[in-house]
Structure 1
């Protein structure tokens, strides 16, 4: 893959920006006196437009518009930063600007993943592992920015945070012009096909795609649930918030470590066995968090869970890219992203409804069971042991 450093920096900046603006928008809503029960709408607004247009954006990229997708995505995120800083006087404006951020983020992510798929086609597992490592670094860096700005305050300086977000997006847009071109590296012979034709694949390929998307969806939902419910578990067990922060950092570090070693793991075990095995290990570790164990043991469990969960996202990208027919890679990657958004929206709500009487520990047990089911589905559906 040519000029990998620029693409990795682009990935880092994109996720850093997204993970700064989302919690900052929630803090701004609290400043404005919005009912806390409505703050969740901000997260939903970020995912709303991507759910509607993801596949269309994928088709657009398949027709050779990767660089325009990246440029427009960066421009929308930058413009939304200016708008949210200057004109966010109520919940409606916050929802609107976050929807624009979500659309820009989707355009940029699809463009990035298309570049990785086309320029790193000979080493997919290594390329996607390194790419998602850079993204994870951005996701891990955002809380440090929030902590540095907020200090001991309950509500940080949202104006400063929005300025930092906008500056990050401006830097993202600036380096887009230095990204490697994939104009002559991709297979675009299918770019003119209709959507129905692009999604019509052999049964075996369809099963593989379904298994990869389920893996991606459940793994991402599990990570989100850990982020939300580990602090709640800490409150129940009177674990200091600083300790919970360290535990979450352990999970994030383990996730990044597994992504750097993804190519070696895939070569040794094969993609199908690695997908199923990582989901089983993650499920066991996450479910075990419900047990009343010492904090040190919880840290070990989160390290194991983080390492295993870190495999699912880049591996699913590799599987989808390898299985996609010529000229449809971006479409299938975008469809995978749509599945992720659905999972992030629905799975936490469903689990909360069905485990309401079981306490926070029940969430972890149910998440572990879901990962076991994902492992079984991956072993049955994915046919990609390369």
Structure 2
């Protein structure tokens, strides 16, 4: 990926990742704010967060099979179109809870297709000795999008408790059109026909990889923790009278901190090793998340969010690189989709469970419960 065509491919992949994450990370907090406007009960916010992952949970493995069979580009185009449609649905039908749920379901499906295609493309285009660095840079781009998305919240009324959600939905529709155009210009390297056709024993080969269940469980806890910060930091802000602009700043700081840890991932792995790095960052995330539940001044909250982002940024690229190392080219789409299946399961189960906690303890209790899950992830990584 260092020559002229490879560099152009890398740039387009990174642009596609930035835009896909930007849409996701502006629409999901915006849906939370719209739900607050509609007086949706706090316990239902967890269910609304889980709806992002319900349909993708069922489609994750088939999307990986489609990626291996038909190519990454087609899957990414389909995902970009669905993400654009989701923003339009929220713009036109987001005045009712059912419209919000429908828009989030479509968003989750489009996001799944984009991410499976992107990850398979990186795995098939990067040399094996550069997987940690390649996935670090790929997830760095994802974090950049996650930082830009909340920045739009500041522009759409950051000085208010609830921003102008209609403007956020409209802006996301425009970004979705650009996302679709960027996918149309992708030209990915061909994979041998024999590899594309490899079906027999594919999933059986993957599920027999040693250490796979623990790796998938750690990955799903980390991604669910990111989801919970998206949903419950705005809820915590409204509980404590924080402005939408400050909450958007916190979300941006978390994403920027994740960008830093991901950009230097290759060097961190060479220095510490994958297992030690995973244990340390999961533990750092757990402590930071628990501390955020305390009544703290704004500066302390900002510092804790930075530590949280540094920790949460490492889990995803590490498991991607491990899977890419462990699977042949014809199975990498399915390998990434299997990882995403575990992630989506965590995104359904964990937010729904902590949503029940929110009924009695509020957003602060949700953060404490999530911290306990991250501590369990650190213990699993150590084993």
Query: Does the Cα contact within 8 Å between 2:73 and 2:187 map onto a contact in 1?
Result: no
**Counterpart-to-counterpart distance in 1, 2:35 and 2:361:** 31
Q: Tell me the equivalent position of 2:84.
A: 78
1:100 aligns with 2:103: no
The residue that corresponds to 2:259 in the other structure is 256
The alpha carbon displacement at 1:287 in A equals 3.3
Match of 1:56 among 52, 62, 73: 62
Q: Which moved more, 1:369-378 or 1:253-262?
A: 369-378
CA deviation after TM superposition for structure 1 residue 11, in Å:
0.6
Match of 1:216 in 2: 219
**Residues of 2 paired with 1:165 and 1:193: CA distance?**
37
Where do residues 3-14 of structure 1 align in structure 2 (5 Å cutoff)?
A: 3=8, 4-14=10-20
Residues 377 and 187 of structure 1, relative CA distance in 2, 3 Å threshold:
farther
Aligned twin of 1:374: 377
- CA distance in 2 between partners of 1:202 and 1:14 (Å): 27
| Counterpart in the other structure of 1:383 | none
CA contact (8 A) 1:48 1:99 kept: yes
User: For residues 188-267 of structure 1, what are the structure 2 equivalents within 5 Å?
Assistant: 189=195, 191-194=197-200, 197-201=201-205, 206-230=209-233, 245-267=248-270
Question: Does 2:175 match 1:168?
Answer: yes
Task: Give 5+ residue unaligned stretches, structure 1.
Answer: 381-386
Q: 1:49 to 1:264 in 2, by over 3 A?
A: same
Q: CA 1:149–1:347 in 2, change beyond 3 Å: closer, same or farther?
A: same
Q: 1:301 aligns with which of 301, 304, 310?
A: 304
Q: Is the 8 A contact 1:190 1:198 kept in 2?
A: no
Residue 263 of structure 1 aligns to a residue whose secondary structure is: helix
Aligned length: 375
Q: Which residue of 2 aligns with 1:384?
A: none
Shift of 1:50: 0.5
**Residue 314 of structure 1 pairs with residue 317 of structure 2:** yes
What CA distance in whole angstroms lies between the structure 1 residues aligned with 2:371 and 2:194? 40
Provide Cα deviations, 1:131-150, integer angstroms capped at 9, x if missing partner.
Answer: 11111111221222122123
Counterpart Cα distance in 1 of 2:123 and 2:151: 31
The 3 A distance-change label for structure 1 pair 336 and 294 is same
| Counterpart position of 2:26 | 20
- Contact kept in structure 2, 1:63 and 1:188, CA below 8 Å: no
Deviation for aligned residue 1:130: 1.1
Distance in 1, matches of 2:255 and 2:199, equals 40
TM-score (norm 2): 0.84
Structure 1 pair 101/289, CA: closer, same or farther in 2 (3 Å)? closer
How far off its partner does 1:346 sit?
1.6
- Displacement of 1:324 after TM fit? 2.5
Structure-2 separation of matches of 1:42 and 1:370: 20
In structure 2, the residue corresponding to 1:77 is in which secondary structure? helix
Does residue 131 in structure 1 map to residue 138 in structure 2?
A: yes
In the TM superposition, what whole-angstrom CA distance separates every residue of 1:232-262 from its partner, at most 9, and x where no partner exists? 6667777777655544443332211101100
Name the residue aligned to 1:271: 274
Cα drift, residue 7 of structure 1: 1.0
Asked if the contact 2:84–2:177 (Cα under 8 Å) also holds between the matched residues in 1, the reply is yes
Q: Quote the residue 1:178 is aligned against.
A: 185
Unmatched runs of 5 consecutive residues or more in structure 2? none
Cα RMSD (Å) of the superposition?
Answer: 3.2
1 CA distance for matches of 2:195 and 2:142? 30
Question: Whole-Å Cα distance in 2 between the matches of residues 170 and 314 of structure 1?
Answer: 27
Measure the CA separation in 1 of the matches of 2:226 and 2:160.
27
What's the TM-score once normalised by structure 1's chain length? 0.83
Q: Tell me the distance in 1 between the aligned counterparts of 2:358 and 2:27.
A: 30
The farther-off stretch of 265-274 and 111-120 is 265-274
Structure 1 distance, partners of 2:108, 2:265, is 28
1:191: Cα distance to partner?
3.7
- Paired residue for 1:286? 289
Residue in 2 that maps onto 1:141: 148
Stretch moving more, 143-152 or 79-88: 79-88
Structure 1 47/277 Cα, relative in aligned 2: closer, same or farther at 3 Å? same
Offset, 1:303 = 2.4
